[in-house]
């Protein structure tokens, strides 16, 4: 007899707390939670799990990147665009002056030297120091090259040279060179700002800045190769001037040429660097010499016909006459050995160097009053100056 299948009703289903019979299969929620879980709860749980995983990933990435101190991104603090340099700034002055200043290279076989020069005329005339190019004057086979700021290299010829004032003029064949503006050294005063441009130690286009520390400073340097001592009324400056600056430009706050850098004073023996005492030939004097050299190829200076020495070292009492050249200007005026000269014209004479520059301020054949002391007695004689 067939049996009737059992039909279960809702009342017959076991509830969630009913223990499963042995051998019955369990669902995944039942395995994980020990009971049935509603689908919405499962979905919520999945969202939470994903969120936790995402947070963990972010934290892990942050820890990994911050833990390596040698890696990262470069964030630059960029400067603002450079401002235009004012024309009266040191940079502005240098930009205008440097193209008119050349480096001078003198070579003779394996020997040579470096100095500086200044273009003073559109025809290619270059003013420099005599001692920069003296090797070319004294010996044949010596070449002089001028190097401009744009790298142009041009051979130069000596127009004329004056060892007494340490000045010389060269000529270069260039088209439309930049010419320096010429100022007045007579208008300078201690404390005025100045800029030196040249090639110290062969380093072209070097610019240094300082002030005029003194004017009308008589200085003397030994002549080159047995030539007469160099004596001139210098502009003293603390702008750094070193070997190789010789012949370069000393310009004022407008960029106008006021001096030709020529000499330094160092603290030790031999050639050394700047210690804040540099000397330049005043442009007023330099231009007179340059004009004479360009016109005549040579220059003469007023002379008294005496040799003198400072009365006493480190004093400023005058210049004592050591000897008098026979039939010279001083001899004809009655000046004797032993006389102490204290004034030439309107200028006080405090030492032997100042005697030389005071005489050279006048013209050949000019008659000037000379005040002197003889045997403790002051007197004045008129001297008609001759030529050196």
Active site residues: 131, 166, 246
What distance in Å separates the CA atoms of residue 162 and residue 289, rounded to the nearest whole number?
8
Angle among Cα 207, 213, 217 to the nearest 5 degrees reads 110
Residues in contact with 136: Cβ distance below 8 Å, sequence separation at least 6, in sequence order? 106, 108, 142, 143, 144, 158
Tokens of 181: 């503006």
Residue 153 buriedness (CB in 10 A; 0-12 / 13-18 / 19+): exposed
Where b means 16+ CB within 10 Å and e means fewer, 73-100 reads eeeeeeeeeeeeeeeeeeeebbebbbbb
- What is d(CA 83, CA 23) in angstroms, rounded to the nearest whole number? 90
How far, rounded to the nearest angstrom, does the alpha carbon of residue 101 sit from its chain's CA centroid? Answer: 12
Cβ neighbours, 10 Å, residue 181: 14
Beta bridge partners of 341: 319, 372
């Amino acid at each position: 007899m067939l049996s009737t299948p059992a039909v279960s009703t809702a009342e017959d289903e076991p509830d969630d707390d009913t223990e499963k019979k042995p051998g019955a299969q369990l669902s995944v929620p039942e395995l994980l939670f020990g009971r049935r879980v509603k689908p919405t709860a499962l979905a919520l749980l999945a969202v939470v799990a994903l969120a936790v995983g995402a947070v963990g990933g972010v934290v892990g990435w942050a820890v990994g990147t911050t833990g390596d101190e040698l890696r990262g991104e470069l964030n630059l603090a960029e400067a603002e665009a450079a401002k235009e340099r004012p024309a009266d700034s040191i940079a502005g002055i240098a930009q205008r002056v440097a193209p008119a200043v050349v480096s001078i290279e003198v070579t003779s076989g394996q020997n040579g030297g470096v100095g500086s020069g200044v273009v003073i005329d559109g025809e290619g005339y270059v003013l420099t120091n005599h001692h920069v190019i003296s090797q070319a004057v004294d010996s044949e086979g010596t070449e002089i090259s001028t190097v401009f700021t744009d790298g142009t290299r041009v051979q130069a010829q000596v127009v004329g040279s004056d060892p007494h004032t340490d000045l010389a003029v060269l000529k270069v064949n260039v088209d439309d060179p930049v010419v320096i503006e010429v100022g007045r050294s007579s208008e300078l005063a201690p404390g005025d700002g100045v800029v030196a441009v040249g090639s110290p130690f062969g380093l072209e286009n070097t610019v240094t800045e300082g002030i005029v520390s003194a004017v009308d400073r008589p200085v003397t340097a030994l002549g080159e190769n047995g030539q007469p001592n160099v004596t001139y009324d210098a502009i003293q400056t603390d702008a750094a001037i070193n070997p190789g600056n010789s012949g370069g430009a000393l310009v004022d706050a407008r960029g106008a040429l006021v001096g030709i850098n020529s000499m330094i004073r160092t603290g030790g023996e031999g050639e050394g660097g700047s210690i804040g005492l540099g000397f330049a030939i005043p442009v007023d004097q330099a231009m007179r010499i340059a004009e004479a050299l360009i016109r005549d190829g040579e220059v003469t200076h007023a002379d008294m016909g005496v040799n003198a020495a400072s009365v006493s070292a480190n004093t400023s009492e005058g210049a004592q006459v050591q000897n008098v050249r026979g039939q010279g200007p001083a001899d004809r005026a009655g000046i004797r050995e032993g006389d102490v000269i204290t004034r030439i014209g309107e200028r006080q004479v405090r030492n032997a160097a100042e005697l030389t520059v005071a005489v050279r301020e006048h013209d050949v054949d000019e008659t000037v009053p000379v005040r002197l002391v003889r045997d403790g007695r002051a007197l004045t004689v008129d001297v008609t100056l001759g030529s050196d």
